[in-house]
Amino acid sequence: MNRRNLAICCVFCVLLPTVNCLRVAPPLTAVRSAPPAVAIVPDAAIRAEEAGEWEKALAIYDTELESDPSRSDLWLRMADIHSRLGNLDAAIATLEKAAATGGGSELYFKLAQAHSLANQAEAAFRAVDKAVAREPRNPEYLRARAQLANWTGRPRLAADSYRRLHLIAPADDDALLNLARAEAWSGNLDDAIRHYRRYLAGHASEKSIWLECVNAQSWRGNFAAARSLLERYRDMFGADESFDRVLVDLLARADLPREARAHNRQALQAGPDNYQALFSEVIALKNDNRPRAALAMIPRLEELRPGARENRELERFVITPLRPDVRLAPYGYYADSDDLHSSASSLEAGFNLNRELRLRAGFEFGAVEAATGSPFVAGDGRNRVTWQRPWIGGTFILAPAVTLGVTASWQRISGLDDQLLGSVFARVRPADRWRFILSLKRDVLNVSPLSLSLGIRRDCARLGVAWEPGWRGVVEAEAASEHYGDGNRRWEASLAPRWKLLRLAAFNLDIGLRGWWFGYERDLHNGYWDPELFRSYMALAYGYWKISDNDGISIVAGLGAVGDDTDDRMRFGSNLDIEGTLGIYRDLMLKVHAALYHNLRQASGAFRAMGLSFQIVYRF
């Protein structure tokens, strides 16, 4: 699940109590009416009110309003009387009649109060919004509008109200705090954190506000900053129950599930109906590769908070990878400076037999083409060779720390006999900060018409390792050994440390380095580039633009130097990969990928290349 989405949902847990304050607002009579200076309230009505003769006073006002329905002061007095008598429906009807005559801001504010006391939240918000439109700098109206916006699920309008309040009274710390909370609720986490910091500068002793700021940092994915703030809280106030609760949530969201569950165990044992502890546990279980256990806990969350939006968001986060889907990649294209062109299309489907076993099957086909007269054309002179590959496979969660996968396929290449190919892999996560993936794969070398027409089988063993030494660092490494059917051998190694530099509400940025090396035993000229040694040293930037909870664009850009054994000097190299995803959690998802490479050797030995592909995913 998109963390930002979970973050905005969870804020309901913190702020929900504040949105009902209008339901216990003071009586309508507590707001003074301000009749026009020329208006005169009948003495008989005033005496009737003083004597508690409410029906008589109402009759007098009715008579007066028949002759002059624009007397908003009398409408307000009638509404006050109905409110005193506990007849909210009559008070509301009176105020609505007054509004129809063109009433002012105070009338709409009282109408909002009446609707609020009658639990008519939508009508209350509409009324107070009209009051603010007529008197946009009235602090009382703005506070009421913010509270009703929260109550009716309009977080952006709540933030707008508190933003206006803060501009009117910049020294009002309560307005500043409420603005921070409203910005967090509406998803403006960068602004929320800025306001929290300003508030804490003058209120460092308020424990709960420190934790709200920690949560806001966690929700925008800045786990290192959240951890630093939480440690400061512990130094100031100790590791109390609130510290433990926020720590568990932080660890779960930061994808440290085992550590999170270890800290959460005591809270779950002490309070099996602890909503926040259960919520964090579900996130941790999902990230710990335990989908069955995670889904089993969601009904209990719904029992504790029926209809809560955060429950639906959490279920979506857990269930999306388990849903049956169909994936169509109608066209993928590649071209490089060696005049090699390839295209491919695919269709596949997947479904879960149970929570641990997922089956997939698909069909791929494509072609690779070289320019006439190129050294990459097939031995029989063909400059275009086609291929098809049906396949079946599956993944199985053997244990939370181990996932196994297998694929079997039949490769058909024009002019050759079919070949049985396949792959197996194991993903292993022995600890939160360590991941390994070991794969064994047999395929056909699909680089050029020549390599494809020769049907060169490739057997590859690959080991990948990812390690997170702290809250900001990531180190990835790979090693591979390949044996080719034409007698050649290839080795490969890479090392790529990176640093999580920036985590904002709408943008993430990592920076890093990558060293990449590979080489072949022999130079056979069989349609693929087989240098004795290739090396690449690049500085990389990894960006992700979070357009929304469901949409985003990732960008990986690299600059550096590349070289091989045929040339002592290194050449400038660069690469740019862009992938856009629309509908991360929706039924329909679209992925578009584009890549550009300059002076970065390709499988054919080309210095420049480009690729473009897109995929449509439909989930049932």
Percent of the chain with pLDDT over 90: 73
The confidence score (pLDDT) of residue 501 equals 96
**pLDDT for 526-556, tens place per residue?**
999 999 999 999 999 999 999 998 999 999 9
Bridge partners (DSSP) of residue 458 are 443, 484
Cα–Cα nearest to 5, from 312, 288, 305? 312
**Whether pLDDT at 28 is above 60:** no
In which band, very low, low, confident or very high, does the pLDDT at 18 lie, cut at 50, 70 and 90? very low
**Whether pLDDT at 6 is above 80:** no
Q: How far is CA 414 from the centre of its chain?
A: 45
In which band, very low, low, confident or very high, does the pLDDT at 39 lie, cut at 50, 70 and 90? low
**pLDDT for 457-476, tens place per residue?**
999 999 999 999 999 999 99
The confidence score (pLDDT) of residue 69 equals 80
Pairwise pLDDT comparison (545 vs 379), residue with the higher score: 545
- Residues 488-500: what's their mean pLDDT? 98
Pairing of strands 384-399, 489-503: unpaired
Distance CA 284, CA 262 (A): 10
Residue whose structure tokens are 């624009």:
70
Distance CA 153, CA 274 (A): 24
- Residues 391-419: what's their mean pLDDT? 95
Distance CA 603, CA 15 (A): 56
**Whether pLDDT at 130 is above 70:** yes
- Residue 341 in 3-state DSSP? strand
Distance CA 436, CA 429 (A): 6
Torsion region of 227: left, alpha or beta (phi above 0 gives left; psi -120 to 50 gives alpha): alpha
Distance CA 84, CA 70 (A): 23
Distance CA 249, CA 541 (A): 29
The confidence score (pLDDT) of residue 73 equals 78
Write a three-state SS string for 151-178.
Answer: HCCCHHHHHHHHHHHHHHCCCCHHHHHH
* Cβ neighbour number for residue 35 with a 10 Å cutoff: 14
Cα–Cα nearest to 31, from 71, 79, 87? 79
**Whether pLDDT at 356 is above 80:** yes
* Mean pLDDT score across all residues of the chain: 89
- Residue 388 in 3-state DSSP? strand
pTM: 0.84
Answer for the pair 477, 501: CB distance below 8 angstroms, yes or no. Answer: no
**Whether pLDDT at 76 is above 90:** no
Answer for the pair 542, 512: CB distance below 8 angstroms, yes or no. Answer: yes
Q: What are phi and psi of 462, to 5 degrees?
A: -135, 140
**pLDDT for 423-445, tens place per residue?**
999 999 999 999 999 999 999 99
In which band, very low, low, confident or very high, does the pLDDT at 415 lie, cut at 50, 70 and 90? confident
- Residue 596 in 3-state DSSP? strand
**Whether pLDDT at 19 is above 90:** no
- Residue 299 in 3-state DSSP? helix
Tokens representing 161? 């109200």
